[in-house]
A and B are shown apart, each in its own frame.
Chain A
Amino acid sequence: MGSLTISNVTKTFGSTEVLKGINIDIADGEFLILVGPSGCGKSTLMNTIAGLEDVSSGQLLLANEDVTDRSPKDRDIAMVFQSYALYPTMNVARNISFGLEMRGVPKAERDRKVEEVSTLLQINHLLDRKPSQLSGGQRQRVAMGRALARSPRVYLFDEPLSNLDAKLRVEMRTEIKKLHKRLGTTIVYVTHDQIEAMTLADRIAVMKDGLVQQLGTPNEIYDDPANQFVAGFMGSPPMNFVPCEVAEDGSIAIRNRGAVVSLKVPQSDHLKGQDVRKVILGLRPEMITEPKPERSGEWIVNMTMDFDVTEPMGADTIAIGEWNDVEVLARLSPEAGLSAGENTSVQVDLSKACLFDPKSGERVR
């Protein structure tokens, strides 16, 4: 009952086209995360879903009903804003129940709902306070409570956690995940936080310049990016991109420590005989590690690298080397990181290597 279909939605402000034809099918109960660089149109898309902005063209279906022309109040959608947007003159209880009040729900029912929601979010003791008397985390909870009280068909979250400190953010993330499990309501959620995206999403939509670049599960997005933009956007530290020449036999050549190394990648067989001369090799830092004797296979290559800089991160150490005159990041264990420097042995796993067309950025498969 909460499925949402966004089909061919465009939005122009004056002469700038902010959404250029968005197509997303969101299943009932799905947790969809929108990511993308600042200004790519995420908030605009959320506003059109909510009905706060009219679409310029295209269609929005909610539970297979066309809601494109409905006003926000008739869509049964709730939204949580980055700024929380709590009504400053109303206390917490009234903030939560205001939507019900506007819909003519009787007082007793409203009180029951406030009770229920505030228990769920553990904010019972705050009900009489004004928003200005709450901490950031408490405001965040009230904002969620306001959305929950109405039991809408779809929740929209626009960067709901980005105003919280790191620790609270992790806590609230877990709580939102639990909440979603429990309610099973469709959620569309915008975030700039990679980990939030990976941990919360059923599927992720990566946007750029008003277009969806890729829509898929977190693993698909991470391991099988549709193009160089998606590959570079998701993951931290980001994927290594090394421009390479393709040899006759489909293997690719990199210059490491002054010597040319020929690497065979899963795409090599396919590349053989094709007229592709230059590609960009995409390899995630965790695919370059200290040697692990237990691993072996067709795509495992051992070599030595020179690392100029190491950056200990606690759980692992990022070491920075160079292939083909571009920086390459490796992810080493802390112990290996200690001794990393000139002439360090590493193991490269090419099984998940991606190749991209240098001009279009599209995947070469």
Chain B
Amino acid sequence: MTQNAHKRSGIADRLEAWLPKIILAPTTLAMIVCMYGFILWTGALSFTKSRMLPQWEFVGFLQFEKLFANPRWDVALSNLVVFGFLFIAISLLIGLLLAIFLDQKIRGEGAIRTIYLYPMAVSFVVTGTAWKWILNPGLGIEKLVRDFGFTDFEFRWLVDQEMAIYTIVIAAVWQSSGFVMAMFLAGLRGVDDSLVKAAQIDGANAWQSYWHVILPILRPVFFSAIVILSHIAIKSFDLVQALTGGGPGYASDLPANFMYTFAFNRAQMGIGAASAMIMLFGVLAILVPYLYSELRGSNRG
């Protein structure tokens, strides 16, 4: 519905016609300055030689070259690939499995769902702190298993260059898989019962009807979940900070931690800005195709 625009009688009426725009004005201003303006600002900064303070001397792609020549960025990027892939795949798998099982008219479903989802209410810093203790080499899981009688058991991923990134996967999956379960469960509840009945009449057993009938319907949920999880993965910062501090050394750094370290601790603003821009492009690369297919879908429907 359109508003009743312009040429109304009294001043009050004319003001009223402007109200919608007046109300959106502050948001619009904040959005233009603090989102798009700032992105441009960061983008511009990444082409300068800024260090401690912004310096508007342009140096072309130098910062990007430096960034990609930096072994620490290399580690951060490949960590993101490993972490992102495992985090998304495992969360999807567990989330889907739990949702399907929970959808079998389970007694106490509400309570179980509550348990699966509570990690989502907790901050990544808390999650990191808790798992840092659980995975503690010496007093954590290692000790627990040794107390069971396996006296040679070793579990020192947290301080292992190679394995530290996997501890982050564990903690992140613990925190987010319940949420994926909730999304799938909502999707399953939305599936028309008669479809399953029709499949059964056609002779499909329970697993066949899930595989051939229900999962294809849940495809949009898969896409949404993947987009959200990759979004979480790219932005992950607090979890690493709290769980491993990026360590040992910088073995478990993610791009977000790299950016923070270089921009704020090392006074390398130019490189920090360049890494932030790469992160933005990473998000866009996932988001744009997703939004595109969403919009096309909704136009068609």
Contacts and interface: CB of A to CB of B under 8 A. Distances in A.
Nearest to B12: A71
A69 B10 CA distance: 10
A74 to B, nearest CB: 7
B9 A70 contact: yes
B70 interface: no
Nearest to B5: A54
A51 interface: yes
A101 interface: no
B5 A71 contact: no
B13 A54 contact: no
A71 B6 contact: no
Nearest to A70: B9
B165 to A, nearest CB: 52
Contacts of B1: 52
A71 B2 contact: no
Nearest to B7: A69
B20 to A, nearest CB: 14
A72 interface: yes
Contact of B6 (A13, A54, A70, A72): A54
Contacts of A69: 7-9
A58 to B, nearest CB: 14
A71 B15 CA distance: 12
B18 to A, nearest CB: 13
A53 interface: yes
Contact of B9 (A52, A54, A71): A71
Nearest to B6: A54
A85 to B, nearest CB: 12
Nearest to A69: B7
A51 B13 CA distance: 13
Contacts of B7: 54, 69
B4 interface: yes
B9 A53 contact: no
A53 B4 CA distance: 6
A18 B153 CA distance: 79
Contacts of B4: 51-54, 71-72
A54 B2 CA distance: 9
Contacts of A52: 1, 4
Interface residues of B, number: 10
Interface in B1-33: 1-2, 4-9, 13, 16
Majority secondary structure of chain A interface residues (helix, strand, loop or mixed): loop
A70 B12 CA distance: 12
A53 B1 CA distance: 8
Most buried by A among B1, B2, B4: B4
Interface string B129-144: 0000000000000000
A86 to B, nearest CB: 18
Contacts of B16: 71
B236 to A, nearest CB: 43
Contacts of A72: 4
Interface string A46-65: 00000111100000000000
Nearest to A72: B4
A70 B8 contact: yes
Interface string A191-205: 000000000000000
B9 A74 contact: yes
A51 B2 CA distance: 12
Interface in A113-163: none
Contact of B2 (A53, A70, A74): A53
A102 to B, nearest CB: 14
B284 to A, nearest CB: 30
B14 to A, nearest CB: 10
Contacts of B6: 54
A39 B16 CA distance: 30
A54 B5 CA distance: 7
Contacts of A54: 4-7
A62 to B, nearest CB: 14
Interface in B176-205: none
Contacts of A51: 4
Contacts of A70: 8-9
Nearest to B8: A71
Contacts of A13: 2
A51 B17 CA distance: 13
Interface in A26-51: 51
Interface in A1-30: 13
A53 B2 CA distance: 7
Most buried by B among A51, A69, A71: A71
A190 to B, nearest CB: 18
Contacts of B8: 69-71
22 contacts: A13-B2, A51-B4, A52-B1, A52-B4, A53-B2, A53-B4, A54-B4, A54-B5, A54-B6, A54-B7, A69-B7, A69-B8, A69-B9, A70-B8, A70-B9, A71-B4, A71-B8, A71-B9, A71-B13, A71-B16, A72-B4, A74-B9
The 9 A-B pairs with the shortest beta carbon distances in the complex, nearest first, are A69-B7, A71-B13, A71-B8, A70-B9, A54-B4, A54-B5, A71-B4, A69-B9, A69-B8
Interface of A: 13, 51-54, 69-72, 74
Given A54-B6, A54-B7, A72-B4, 7 more contacts: A51-B4, A52-B1, A52-B4, A53-B4, A69-B7, A69-B8, A69-B9
